[in-house]
Amino acid sequence: MSTEVYIAGAAMTAFARHTDKSMQDLAQFAALGAMTDAGIGAERIQAMYNANVYGGMVLGQVLMRDLGLGGPALYNVENACASGATAVHLACQALRLGVYDTVLVWGVEMLTKLGGGTIPMQRNDYKTDLYAAQGMTLPTVYAMRGTRYLHERNEAPEILARVAVKNRAHGALNPLAQQRKAVTLEEVLQSRPVAEPLTLLQCCPSMVDGAAAVVLTTKRPAQGRPAIRVVGSAVQSGRIEEGCDNILDAEITARTARLAYEQAGLGPEDVNVVELHDAFTIAELLYYEALGLASQGGGADMLRRGDTALGGRVPVNPSGGLLAKGHPLGATGVAQMVEVTWQLQGRAEGRQVEGARVGLTQCTGGGIAGVDHAASSVHLLAA
């Protein structure tokens, strides 16, 4: 990557049930926060990227109209749960190509508008329609992986619950997380079963709203704090699942991570902090291995040793992750970058990973049958 891209400003709303606010309120709060954090005004913004899943057409224009930011190019980006990360990826491309030098990227979602429950699958697909009629939902897909994981690895459900205990303990330290209560293994295992082996506390909350924003620029920030560079940025789409594939290999995530590491000239051993897509506990265990943080088959031991807890070798989801912080889909990928930016700048009060210099964010977008995941994005940030 020849042209450096910096994260000059980062901000987000609390992830919560914002039933007294509009989507405009949330997106504008995050956008203004990121611009203030970057120390720039609207005149510096040359393009905008809005990430969202369920908000409707030309949403970005709706969100920014009253702020007076209209005029420059505004791109509306949807890639399911990877929408926010995809928007950052597209912005990085344009910056590196010299199309712009400073852009604003935000993600926003109001899942409370959907009324709770599992989020809807894509409906414009004959295969997803058929499988949804059989009962396929996103928890189902992850639960299938969970059952197979426990079978192949000869593990007990307790290993899945440990992920929830860790991330919810982290979330308790994050004032922006929706669920701030630490839980015990027993509480996780005894919470209501949802899709065996997953219990309620092993699923990210579905009634959550929020927004996050970053200012990206090719001009090195001079703010008296570490300049954060985007040194790797990759997005991939899911390949058709044919035959009887291994559902534990997280193929798209491993493939995307390889691209991001290659761009950055870094490897998993260089990463000090990770924000990954723990929509359900089993996902985090699989991604340890797909991202190369653990050897094949070594994810469970890595978790048991405490390597991925705050204070461990490579803390994963210090924000609380999707499980505790919440997962307002379009906002998630951007919020992960906000968290890692704060971590690399020493601004993650109460949950700081000391001395972190390199951070990784990873998002997957699902919601259709017949692929491992529909979309995957991995970013590497460096101080």
Partner 1 sequence: MQHAPQTLDAPRPPATAGEPFRLVASRDCQSGQCVFPAIPDSSPSNPRYEPVQLSEQAVLYSFTVIHPNPKSGQAPFVLVYADFPEKARVFGRLRLPEGRRPQIGMALSAVADGAGQYSFIPAAESDK
Binding residues for partner 1, per CB under 8 A? 117, 126-127, 129-131, 133-136, 139-140, 143-148, 151, 192-198, 240-245, 247, 369-370
Considering the complex, state which of residue 90 and residue 141 has its C-beta at the smaller distance from partner 1: 141
- Paired strand residues for 233: 379
Considering the complex, state which of residue 68 and residue 192 has its C-beta at the smaller distance from partner 1: 192
Considering the complex, state which of residue 359 and residue 367 has its C-beta at the smaller distance from partner 1: 367
Quote the tokens at residue 112.
């409370």
In the complex, the smallest distance separating the C-beta of residue 368 from partner 1, rounded to whole angstroms, is 13
The strand order across the sheet containing 375-382 reads 73-77, 47-51, 102-110, 209-217, 6-12, 228-237, 375-382, 358-365, 273-275
47-51 and 102-110 beta bridge pairing: parallel
DSSP 111-130: GGGGTSSSPPPP-S-HHHHH
Considering the complex, state which of residue 127 and residue 258 has its C-beta at the smaller distance from partner 1: 127
Reply yes or no on whether 81 is catalytic: yes
Find, among 359, 361, 354, 357, the residue nearest to 377 by Cα. Answer: 361
Q: What sections of the chain are H helices per DSSP?
A: 23-38, 59-64, 83-96, 126-134, 138-153, 158-171, 185-190, 251-264, 281-290, 299-305, 321-325, 329-344
In the complex, the smallest distance separating the C-beta of residue 118 from partner 1, rounded to whole angstroms, is 10
Quote the tokens at residue 63.
């969100």
Considering the complex, state which of residue 138 and residue 348 has its C-beta at the smaller distance from partner 1: 138
In the complex, the smallest distance separating the C-beta of residue 126 from partner 1, rounded to whole angstroms, is 4
| Among 81, 92, 203, 363, the one annotated catalytic | 81
In the complex, the smallest distance separating the C-beta of residue 157 from partner 1, rounded to whole angstroms, is 12
In the complex, the smallest distance separating the C-beta of residue 324 from partner 1, rounded to whole angstroms, is 21
Considering the complex, state which of residue 186 and residue 245 has its C-beta at the smaller distance from partner 1: 245
In the complex, the smallest distance separating the C-beta of residue 142 from partner 1, rounded to whole angstroms, is 9
Helix, strand or coil, per DSSP, at residue 45: coil
E strand or H helix at 50: strand 47-51
Considering the complex, state which of residue 346 and residue 370 has its C-beta at the smaller distance from partner 1: 370
Distance (Å, rounded) from C-alpha 349 to C-alpha 269?
25
Find, among 194, 204, 169, the residue nearest to 303 by Cα. Answer: 169
In the complex, the smallest distance separating the C-beta of residue 188 from partner 1, rounded to whole angstroms, is 15
10 Å CB burial of residue 57 (0-12, 13-18, 19+) is exposed
Q: Are 103 and 47 in contact (CB under 8 A)?
A: yes
Distance (Å, rounded) from C-alpha 179 to C-alpha 168?
7
In the complex, the smallest distance separating the C-beta of residue 158 from partner 1, rounded to whole angstroms, is 18
Residue whose pair of structure tokens reads 């691209």 in the numeric block? 259
Considering the complex, state which of residue 97 and residue 133 has its C-beta at the smaller distance from partner 1: 133
Distance (Å, rounded) from C-alpha 55 to C-alpha 184?
36
Quote the tokens at residue 77.
């980006």
Residues with a catalytic annotation lie at 81
